[in-house]
Amino acid sequence: MTAIWGILNVTPDSFSDGGRYLDVEHAVAHGLLLREQGATILDIGGESTRPGAERIGADVEQQRVIPVIERLAESGVPVSIDTLNAATAAAAVHAGARIVNDVSGGLADPEMRAVVAESGADFAIGHWRGPSADMYAHADYRRVAREVAGELQERIGEAAAAGIAPSRLIVDPGIGFAKAGAQNWDVLRGLDEIVALGPRVLIGTSRKRFLAETLQADAEASVSEARRDLATAVTSALALRAGVWAVRVHDVAATRDALAIAHAWEG
């Protein structure tokens, strides 16, 4: 069964749900709703990584996420912390998180691998080529899926060297991170190269710009959230067929249904 990571961004500025769950009660209620809808893991983030986003301090990030993690972990749901900061990862695991989701794969903070190794948490490592502020400057590839797989292989080696067992690793090709438009489709088409690396594979297509670009030829027109969620659910079903272990989504109910249909098809 494909795992569903429900996204809970406790931020004022994430690109699709920024500002909705900034207070603890709203965030906890939304997390519980996502679990009811079928999320197997809740991925909680306090710093936006949308294109162009500016960095915030780890103290601000922790003020946003730690109370939410404490409450949700207490309720029994497995929690992941989406962070680039080792200090936030350590505090989150202390508060009950079981997975550290680092979209930079350990590159953004030199302390990250050691903190994760020590914590005993699982480690989700993303493909990343630099901070969100200018990540598209690094979107230069000859064979995207192959290069992404090669760079993830390096991250896997670094994590192993830091003492993180391969069974604790999850790899993510980083859809939208230093990848423009069609390059994201090249990655998805080449997912077998990512699956072949060995660790569990996670993908995050949810509501991302490349989906909207595909649905709407006019880049200036906006594509509604409902249409982005439907497109995301389709990618979830296709991800299942590609051998992906988990999908990270905002609309958990739609992905749950899409996965149920894809599972029935598989038999």
Q: Which of 62, 83, 85, 101 binds ligand PMM (CB under 6 A)?
A: 101
Tokens in use for 73? Answer: 């972990």
Which of the stretches 69-77, 145-153, 171-179, 224-232 binds ligand PMM when contact is defined by CB under 6 A? 171-179
Amino acid at 34: L
Report the residue closest to ligand PMM, judged by CB.
Answer: 204
Which of the stretches 19-27, 29-37, 46-54, 228-236 binds ligand PMM when contact is defined by CB under 6 A? 46-54
Cβ proximity to ligand PMM, 46 vs 96, nearer residue: 46
Is residue 14 near ligand PMM by the rule CB under 6 A?
yes
Cβ proximity to ligand PMM, 74 vs 225, nearer residue: 225
CA angle 177, 109, 99 (to 5 degrees): 75
Q: Which of 6, 78, 126, 131 binds ligand PMM (CB under 6 A)?
A: 126
Residue 179 annotated among the catalytic residues of the structure: no
Is residue 41 near ligand PMM by the rule CB under 6 A?
no
Cβ proximity to ligand PMM, 14 vs 236, nearer residue: 14
Residue 208 annotated among the catalytic residues of the structure: yes
Q: How far is the CB of 250 from ligand PMM (least distance, A)?
A: 6
Is residue 16 near ligand PMM by the rule CB under 6 A?
yes
The answer to whether 123 and 100 have CB atoms below 8 angstroms apart is yes
Is residue 255 near ligand PMM by the rule CB under 6 A?
no
Q: Which residues contact 224 (CB under 8 A, 6 or more apart)?
A: none
Q: Which residues, 192 to 231, sit near ligand PMM by CB under 6 A?
A: 202, 204, 206
Residues 64, 207, 208, 228: which is the catalytic one?
A: 208
Q: Which of 47, 82, 122, 251 binds ligand PMM (CB under 6 A)?
A: 82
Instruction: Give 9's strand partners.
Output: 45
| Distance, CA of 257 to CA of 141 (rounded, Å) | 35
Q: Which residues bind ligand PMM (CB under 6 A)?
A: 7, 9, 14-16, 45, 48-50, 82, 101, 103, 124, 126, 172, 174-175, 202, 204, 206, 248
Residue positions annotated with a catalytic role: 208, 248
